[in-house]
């Protein structure tokens, strides 16, 4: 990966980019994205599940969206992707993860 592409990747797909997107998101989307992040970091989460979560969280922080975030209802596509993934992975989510996501 060239240096310029690597720098752009780091800027767009980093903890800082995730935190910035969370600050701008609705409270429901924020809680759900944090829940996915906690599931990603979970020791018991299988590798294939983690790959799926990375794809959805990558879309969440991606600066290019199906519906740009600055438009009315701009977070609809992000919310749809995150919610769908949570529905698919519901069996992996512990009550403790749900509580931690609400607290954050």
pLDDT of residue 3: 66
Q: Indicate the number of domains in the chain.
A: 1
pLDDT of residue 79: 94
Distance of CA 6 to the CA centre of its chain: 20
Q: Which tokens hold the place of 74?
A: 């701009």
Q: What is the pLDDT of residues 47-102, one digit of tens each?
A: 999 999 999 999 998 878 888 877 888 889 999 999 999 999 999 999 999 999 99
User: The domain containing residue 43 runs over which residues?
Assistant: 3-103
Quote the pTM value: 0.82
Closest to 35 measured CA to CA, from 57, 52, 16, 10: 57
pLDDT of residue 16: 83
Q: What is the pLDDT of residues 28-43, one digit of tens each?
A: 999 999 999 999 999 9
């Amino acid at each position: 990966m060239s240096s310029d592409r690597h720098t752009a990747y780091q800027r767009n797909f980093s903890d800082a980019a995730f935190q910035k997107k969370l600050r701008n998101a609705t409270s429901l989307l924020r809680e759900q994205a944090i829940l996915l992040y906690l599931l990603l970091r979970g020791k018991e989460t299988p590798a294939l599940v983690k790959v799926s979560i990375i794809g959805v969280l990558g879309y969440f922080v991606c600066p290019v969206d199906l519906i740009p975030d600055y438009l009315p209802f701009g977070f609809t596509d992000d919310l749809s992707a995150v919610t769908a993934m949570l529905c698919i992975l519901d069996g992996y989510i512990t009550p403790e993860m749900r509580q931690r996501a609400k607290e954050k």
